[in-house]
Structure 1
Amino acid sequence: MIELPSELESYRSQLEDSEKDFIKITTEKVEKSSPTESKIGGYPFLPKGFAYPKDKDGTPLEFLAQINFLDVPQNDIYPKNGIIQFFISFDDLYGADLDYETLQEGYRVIYHENIEKEVETNFDFLDSLRENGLSPLSHKNILKMSFQKASEYVSATDYQFENYFGKSIYDFFEKFEEEDEMVEFYYENIDKSGHKLGGYANFTQDDPRAFSETLNKDYELLFQLDSNEDVEDICWGDVGIGNFFIKREDLINRKFSKVIFTWDCG
């Protein structure tokens, strides 16, 4: 049971009602990785003959990360096998569509159900693009992922905060005499940012699901990749957060063509 300041104790039930399971992702730097490993950076699993994803102008995309579901603890949400991959552009928006369209023209989410295939090993073109293109990753690093089941309470910036506390975080904490201290406590002790599958999304600004008709409240967090500049050399713009969202029905049916990618920074 989390210890709360006396000012927040009367809201314990709302907080505990918001508890949700997610998959926590931790990383370690490695020199090499196999094609099918769960990782951030490096080179992707790519079956021979499978076209490398490109943007609408024909430029290959940056390989951001991939998750082999065999590495993920048993759960009732995600596929039990196969690899999901996340690709983004090398431009100044990393390929994000500010209208939150599902076209995936500047980014791509690909799911390989069958990974028992001969793989591509030549990625010289990617090395060349990485020399000059913009990316949240440092290409000297390959980060191997590990996964652990965990639970969390609603994050301060997820639109669902208002569902449990009746007000947005900005309005909710205004009632406290020590407003700044209460906000700081929530961010430091309750908010769980970082890399994750599922759970509550984190933002450096506002949750776009609260006001976008396209990226609406039917979308839930699929994958979050946070900035960690000091340890992992990951940095979205000015220490931001990258998020991929999917509708629950599409996740159940293993359809990833309408996943929406967003990122923001302070």
Structure 2
Amino acid sequence: MSSVKKNLKKAESLAKFQIALNIVPHIASLTGSQLGGSPFVPKSLDFARDTAGEILPLFCQINFANMPAILGFPKSGLFQMFVSGGELDEAVNEAVVFRYLKAEQLLEESRDMSAYKTQAPWMLVDSTVKSITGVKKDYKIRSKHTIGGRPNFVQEKVYEDHVNFLQFDSEDGIMVGENGIMHVFVTNEDLEELNFDNAEFHFDCC
């Protein structure tokens, strides 16, 4: 069996369940799951920055300890996605940074956040901070915002041999282009290692 077919088979097996994400009124928590706002940054790490060295605003952070467990996905730790607050351009991948903080890193003291200025990323309609909760569902129940499951697309399908790690649709204060959908795709191997250095950010819209 070719490596592509093996990857497709593994991606399919991991897509049998999804965590359907709900956007709800914000409950303040330093390491909680949220859209926008201030991230948790342990004292041992610098802020996430773009290629020009500018501090990137937080799009979302997801605490997996507070999410339902699904096959192949983390059961703890904090995933963070930082996106440029400017307009989307051809260098979109230079303006998106992913971080995964292990459970033990969440016990560290937070760094001084006085230098951090919250700025709404281009995908958020406003800068209101919102909390994120999750419910485990079968992939056949198509959800708008998900961890795992089968990805939804507006146009052509891409990265079919990758795992659909995260998906946000244009709803609940999120707007991706013109009513589009955004995804974070990872390979099976990188997901097993909780390595997001090679994660692919993708969006398509009408």
TM bucket (normalised to shorter chain) is 0.7 to 0.9
Q: 4+ residue stretches of structure 1 with deviation over 3 A?
A: 94-97
Question: How far is the alpha carbon of 1:53 from its aligned partner?
Answer: 0.9
Of 186, 192, 195, 1:252 maps to: 192
Letter aligned with residue 236 of structure 1: V
Change (3 A) 1:33 1:244: same
> In structure 2, the residue corresponding to 1:208 is in which secondary structure?
coil
Matched, 1:106 2:90: no
Matched, 1:151 2:151: no
Matched, 1:206 2:156: yes
Q: Following the alignment from structure 1 to structure 2, what is the Cα–Cα distance between the partners of residues 69 and 27? A: 16
| TM-score, structure 2 normalization | 0.83
Conserved? CA contact 1:88–1:106, under 8 Å: yes
| TM-score, structure 1 normalization | 0.65
CA offset digits 1:99-129 (Å, max 9, x no partner): xxxxx532111010021011135255423xx
Matched, 1:227 2:139: no
Larger RCO: 1 or 2 (CA < 8 Å, sep 6+): 2
Letter aligned with residue 224 of structure 1: Q
Change (3 A) 1:76 1:208: closer
Question: How far is the alpha carbon of 1:78 from its aligned partner?
Answer: 1.4
Change (3 A) 1:29 1:124: farther
CA offset digits 1:71-105 (Å, max 9, x no partner): 111333212211011111223227864xxxxxx53
Conserved? CA contact 2:20–2:143, under 8 Å: no
Change (3 A) 1:95 1:45: farther
The number of residue pairs the alignment matches comes to 190
User: What's the counterpart of residue 87 of structure 2?
Assistant: 92
Of 171, 177, 181, 1:237 maps to: 177
User: What's the counterpart of residue 70 of structure 1?
Assistant: 65
Structure 1 vs Structure 2 CA RMSD: 2.2
Matched, 1:46 2:41: yes
Q: Following the alignment from structure 1 to structure 2, what is the Cα–Cα distance between the partners of residues 118 and 26? A: 29
Structure with larger Rg: 1
User: What's the counterpart of residue 108 of structure 2?
Assistant: 117
Conserved? CA contact 1:42–1:141, under 8 Å: yes
Identity level (%): 29
> In structure 1, the residue corresponding to 2:94 is in which secondary structure?
coil
Question: How far is the alpha carbon of 1:263 from its aligned partner?
Answer: 1.1
Query: Which one has the bigger helix percentage?
Result: 1
> In structure 2, the residue corresponding to 1:126 is in which secondary structure?
coil
User: What's the counterpart of residue 36 of structure 1?
Assistant: 31
Q: Following the alignment from structure 1 to structure 2, what is the Cα–Cα distance between the partners of residues 147 and 134? A: 22
Change (3 A) 1:96 1:147: farther
Matched, 1:195 2:191: no
Change (3 A) 1:121 1:195: farther
Structure 1 segments unaligned to the other structure (5+ residues): 1-18, 98-103, 154-189, 210-216
